[in-house]
Amino acid sequence: MNNLMKHKKLLIFIVSSSFFTILVIHLLGIVSFSDLVSKEMIKDISIRLVFSIILISIMYFMGYSLFKKPSKSWIYVVIIVVPGLLIALNNFPISAYLAERITITKPIHAVYLYAIECFSIGFLEETVFRGIILIVLLQRLSQTRNGYFMAIIISSAFFGIIHLLNLFNSASVSATLLQVAYSFLMGIMWGVIYLATQNLIFPILLHAMYDFFGQVLFRLGTVTNRFDFTTILITSIFAVIAVLFYLSVFTKIKSSEIKRIYLIDNNDC
């Protein structure tokens, strides 16, 4: 908190300029796009990105750098990230696409805007659930392997439960509960990736790609029979491999590497 107070004026400037940026982006969106979908995406993108920047700035001024250089080689980082990338790519309805059971009804520029929107979602949600909540839990729970594991589980549970809010957006109970379940599991994977790489950019990008590939055709078009036998089989195989792989990764992460994430570094502030 003392570190934060030292940078109070700079933080006030960041917050003020961020809200001014929201206003500017909204005006640009109104002028540049005529369709309602694009205008809504512009609004949501600007709000999420601005609040993400504010939260990251607060964490940085408190002494937490969420984007540290990994302590291991980039080859190790690639090995850690690739399975998560495959999970994200597999979220795309490939079978339905190849069988031409998809249609895109919105203009092509909406696809690019949706990619940016997914990045803003990943940016904000990873900042909150992995960059803040997970760090707090790592500090509060016992600094042991079991404590670190519980920190990942609890932060991921919060991440899953927050999706119950979709019930207020007319989502069905079954679809919402399914989203809660897979959000919980994805949160665990992204949490392990963060601990292993010590850099939040990897969970952010994987989260964004998972959302984009999984929802772009549903948000901007239609898909028929997404979960056919082939899709369910491949998804199940990937899920089992990912669980075994990331459990193995977690057991090999050193305590010193995890401490780089949740200990305050006064040299960074």
| pLDDT (0 to 100) of residue 168 | 86
| pLDDT (0 to 100) of residue 159 | 97
Beta-bridge partner residues of 220: none
pLDDT band at residue 75 using 50, 70 and 90 as cut-offs: very high
Arithmetic mean of pLDDT over the chain? 89
Q: What is the pLDDT of residues 159-194, one digit of tens each?
A: 999 999 888 887 889 889 999 999 999 999 999 999
pLDDT band at residue 4 using 50, 70 and 90 as cut-offs: low
Residues in the chain: 269
Cα dist from 45 to 22, 24, 87, 118, whole Å: 9, 12, 24, 8
Q: What is the pLDDT of residues 224-251, one digit of tens each?
A: 888 888 899 999 999 999 999 999 999 9
pLDDT band at residue 268 using 50, 70 and 90 as cut-offs: very low
| pLDDT (0 to 100) of residue 26 | 67
More confident residue, 210 or 35: 210
What is the distance in angstroms between the CA of the first residue and the CA of the last residue of the chain?
12
Residue where the block lists tokens 């379940």: 181
Q: How far is CA 95 from the centre of its chain?
A: 25
DSSP states of 115-168 as a string? Answer: HHHHHHHHHHHHHHIIIIIHHHHHHHS-SSHHHHHHHHHHHHHHHHHGGGGGGG
Our CA dihedral for 113, 114, 119, 120, rounded to 10 degrees, sits at 80
pLDDT band at residue 8 using 50, 70 and 90 as cut-offs: low
| pLDDT (0 to 100) of residue 269 | 47
pLDDT band at residue 30 using 50, 70 and 90 as cut-offs: low
| pLDDT (0 to 100) of residue 20 | 75
The proportion of the chain whose per-residue pLDDT surpasses 70, expressed as a percent, equals 90
Joined together, the tokens standing for residue 119 give 């990045």
| pLDDT (0 to 100) of residue 171 | 81
Q: Is residue 10 predicted with pLDDT exceeding 50?
A: yes
Q: What is the pLDDT of residues 198-215, one digit of tens each?
A: 999 999 999 999 999 999
Cα dist from 112 to 120, 171, 211, 216, 230, whole Å: 13, 25, 13, 10, 28
pLDDT band at residue 1 using 50, 70 and 90 as cut-offs: low
